[in-house]
């Protein structure tokens, strides 16, 4: 076993709102600990991409559910190179467009879709447990619905201001007033829509809150590593 790897198949669950840093922090934690990494938001984005690709109106709840049940999705869980493939096509970039970001809540609030993707997420996590690789899974309902039995459960938060500024820098390369305004729908409206079906603003019992508002990325990764260590013990 390489230095930094944990001695057992640890499951770390991280939830939080858009721009709280889930994806980058979860990847950093997975890399530091030698664990696999599952971006469950990417699965909802891939489902949205697939439905639009098949010309299915997202308001057609049953048709969307049927498409997602048959979704030929393969998630690559290496935190150094996470991949998302649909029917053999690498959709890693296509699922991050503004079009998908604006549309994804319509799919994520479809309860039959949540049941199907939740089932697939549990299967990925169970495989990581069985094979001994361990995993960091992040999203909106991992600590509460998908893996409430995870060894470590973290709610990653950040102020609205910090989240808008981060997304503006990421998408527009600046966090000036116009860029923040242009990002508002993608972050706040989407979180409000998503909140109608999952709770990711308040930590459930046993879930540790990490507030990243005043931390940089490296400090936030370290804060989550500290939580992992406090629960499963120091790395060998
Ligand atoms: N603690 C942090 N401090 C500053 N920037 C951060 C922090 N965490 C994440 N970021 C940056 O903010 C942006 C959004 O992070 P991301 O991981 O995509 O968040 P989420 O998955 O929660 O939407 C990225 O550009 C990322 O590098
Ligand atoms: N476990 C999850 C993960 C994501 N979602 C939804 C919520 C979001 O609108 C979309 C996309 O999630 P993603 O984590 O990629 O979004 P952000 O990077 O936080 O902006 O999927 C969900 O409902 N449940």
ipTM: 0.97
- Residue 3 forms part of a structural domain: no
- Residue 97 forms part of a structural domain: yes
Q: Which CATH number fits the domain that encloses residue 101? A: 3.40.50.300
| Residues 221, 29 contacting (CB under 8 angstroms) | yes
Q: From the alpha carbon of 216, which atom of ligand 1 is closest?
A: 3
- Residue 34 forms part of a structural domain: yes
Residue with CA closest to ligand 2 atom 14: 41
- C-alpha of residue 229 to centroid of ligand 2, in Å: 27
16 lines ligand 1 (CB under 6 A): yes
Q: What is the DSSP letter of 87?
A: T
pTM of the model: 0.95
- C-alpha of residue 210 to centroid of ligand 1, in Å: 13
d(CA 110, CA 59): 9
Q: Domain range for residue 16?
A: 11-227
- Residue 4 forms part of a structural domain: no
C-beta atoms surrounding 175 within 10 Å: 18
Alpha helices, DSSP H, located in 6-81: 22-33, 40-53, 61-69
- Residue 167 forms part of a structural domain: yes
- Residue 1 forms part of a structural domain: no
- Residue 233 forms part of a structural domain: no
18 is in an annotated binding site: yes
Residue with CA closest to ligand 1 atom 25: 170
Residue 90 phi/psi, 5-degree rounding, is -75, 110
- Residue 54 forms part of a structural domain: yes
Q: What is the pLDDT along the chain (236 residues), one digit of tens a residue?
A: 444 556 579 999 999 999 999 999 999 999 999 999 999 999 999 999 999 999 999 999 999 999 999 999 999 999 999 999 999 999 999 999 989 999 999 999 999 999 999 999 999 999 999 999 999 999 999 999 999 999 999 999 999 999 999 999 998 999 999 999 999 888 999 899 999 999 898 889 999 999 999 999 999 999 999 999 999 888 76
d(CA 14, CA 12): 7
230 is in an annotated binding site: no
Counting the structural domains of the chain, the total is 1
């Amino acid at each position: 076993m390489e230095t930094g790897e944990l001695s057992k198949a640890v499951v770390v669950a991280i939830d939080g709102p858009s721009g709280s840093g889930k994806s980058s922090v979860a990847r950093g934690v997975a890399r530091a600990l030698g664990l696999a990494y599952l971006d469950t938001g990417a699965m909802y984005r891939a489902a949205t991409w697939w439905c639009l690709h098949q010309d299915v109106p997202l308001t057609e709840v049953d048709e969307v559910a049927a498409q997602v049940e048959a979704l030929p999705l393969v998630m690559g869980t290496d935190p150094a190179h996470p991949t998302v493939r649909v029917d053999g096509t690498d959709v890693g970039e296509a699922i991050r467009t503004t079009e998908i970001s604006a549309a994804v809540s319509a799919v994520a609030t479809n309860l039959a879709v949540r049941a199907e993707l939740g089932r697939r997420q549990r299967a990925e996590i169970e495989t990581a447990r069985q094979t001994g690789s361990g995993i960091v899974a992040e999203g909106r309902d991992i600590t509460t619905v998908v893996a409430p039995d995870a060894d470590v459960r973290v709610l990653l938060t950040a102020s609205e201001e910090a989240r808008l500024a981060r997304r503006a820098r990421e998408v527009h390369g600046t966090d000036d007033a116009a860029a923040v305004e242009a990002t508002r729908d993608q972050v706040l409206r989407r979180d409000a829509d998503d909140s109608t079906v999952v709770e990711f603003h308040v930590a459930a019992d046993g879930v540790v809150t990490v507030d990243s508002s005043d931390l940089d990325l490296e400090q936030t990764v370290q804060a989550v590593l500290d939580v992992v260590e406090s629960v499963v013990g120091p790395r060998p």
